[in-house]
Amino acid sequence: MKLALIGFGQAGGKIVDEFLAYDDAIGGGFIESAIAVNSATTDIQGLENVPRANRVLIGQARVKGHGVGADNELGATVTEEDIDEIQGAIDRIPVHEIDAFLIIAGMGGGTGSGGAPVLATHLKKIYSQPVFGLGILPAMDEGGIYTLNAARSFQTFVREVDNLLVFDNDVWRSAGESVADGYDRINREIVERFGLLFAAGEVGNGDHVAESVVDSSEIINTLNDGISTIGYASETVDTTGNGLLSSFKEEDGFDEGTATNRMTSLVRKSTLGRLTLPCDVSSADRGLVVATGPPEELNRKGVERGRQWLEDETGSMEIRGGDYPMPHRDEVGAIVLLSGVTDVPRIEKLQQVAIDAQDRTENLQANADEEFTSLVDTGGELDALF
């Protein structure tokens, strides 16, 4: 499907940058336009792939290009004030060519956390295309302010978009990695999963017409509303024709049984393995299974079996399935999109920690005010200058 990507804040911009590189690398063609919005000059200058003309600096009057310092209320305010600047960049998008907008933001900071929901509200008012969000949750040890920001932004963002796709940094961190290396790796994981999903809806004009390609409307209908999470699993296949697999192949070069079993097991691994947002799979309302890989290794039966398995696992009758053929790849994969999930312990925990952080901050503030008054107050024994 064709998307207009809008990266908000530092994380949002970096992920859009990575999406552009990925789309290019796989020849996906799912990005129609890409915009980055930020209140920090250095962050926006550091991007590599977003065209310069599509980088929008907001909040200059208030923060002078220095960012909003994790104050997401200020992030929301400067976005409202400078919405015309952002609209100026959106006006250059051929909106009639896109299937949806995707706004991407780290939810723990200030600019993206506060600004992304404001932009979603604005786009929904003007355009008929769906507006999706991709929200990045902070790791739990990032501290109270990030958790509080994320919980408040989540509540608002999910209400304003047609669907909020969620990625949880906490689940994807590795011990012993620097923050920068960690983000680079995590960002590649993000774009591979979401990129393959969106690229899947963009097949149609190539040489390889799959048995049952995924259509952009199937992705849109699966997303529909609520929040979503994605699983992905892949396996290397021997495409040279000399390997072990080839010895099982039938005369036409395709072993139906192997391909079917492989896909069913990949769908299971993808669903029961690490999701972008861990959740109880049975709480999903809708789902989509996408089989990716060289067209000669994909078959309809494999997707159908995987789809049926997911129906049983979720109890949902709304599980769609299809192919995304990728010629010249030596990997077969399965993407599982679970949408309308409701049993998500991580969100409940985030909200609880945020409520505690909010209460603690209010108490500390009240005490600090009292203590400061008693520090300065001499009981009338000293007169202030004026």
Ligand X SMILES: Nc1nc2c(ncn2[C@@H]2O[C@H](COP(=O)(O)OP(=O)(O)OP(=O)(O)O)[C@@H](O)[C@H]2O)c(=O)[nH]1
**Which residues here bind ligand X, judged by CB under 6 A?**
9-11, 14, 39-40, 43, 67-70, 106, 108-113, 136, 138, 142, 146, 169, 183, 186-187
Does the annotation flag 13 for ligand binding?
Answer: yes
Nearer to ligand X among residue 130 and residue 138 (C-beta)? 138
Does the annotation flag 89 for ligand binding?
Answer: no
Nearer to ligand X among residue 196 and residue 237 (C-beta)? 196
Residue 27: other Cβ atoms inside 10 A: 12
Nearer to ligand X among residue 106 and residue 302 (C-beta)? 106
CB of 323 to ligand X, least distance (A): 29
Does the annotation flag 287 for ligand binding?
Answer: no
Question: Are 215 and 222 in contact, with CB atoms under 8 Å apart?
Answer: no
Over its C-alpha atoms, the chain yields an Rg (Å, rounded) of 24
User: Using CA atoms, how far apart are residues 2 and 201, in angstroms rounded to an integer?
Assistant: 8
CB of 5 to ligand X, least distance (A): 15
Does the annotation flag 169 for ligand binding?
Answer: yes
Does the annotation flag 379 for ligand binding?
Answer: no
The SS3 assignment for 268 reads helix
Nearer to ligand X among residue 14 and residue 320 (C-beta)? 14
CB of 314 to ligand X, least distance (A): 27
Report the interhelical angle of 111-126 vs 72-81 (nearest 10°). 40
CB of 232 to ligand X, least distance (A): 16
User: Using CA atoms, how far apart are residues 94 and 131, in angstroms rounded to an integer?
Assistant: 15
Does the annotation flag 378 for ligand binding?
Answer: no
CA angle in degrees (0–180, nearest 5) for 106-111-117: 75
Nearer to ligand X among residue 14 and residue 268 (C-beta)? 14
H or E element: which one contains 257? Answer: helix 256-272
286-300 in b/e form (b: 16+ CB < 10 A) is bbbbbbbbbbbbbbb
DSSP class of residue 203?
-
Does the annotation flag 111 for ligand binding?
Answer: yes
Two tokens, residue 376: 């300065």
Numbered residues of the known binding site: 10-14, 110-112, 142, 169, 187
Numbered residues of the known binding site for GTP: 10-14, 110-112, 142, 169, 187
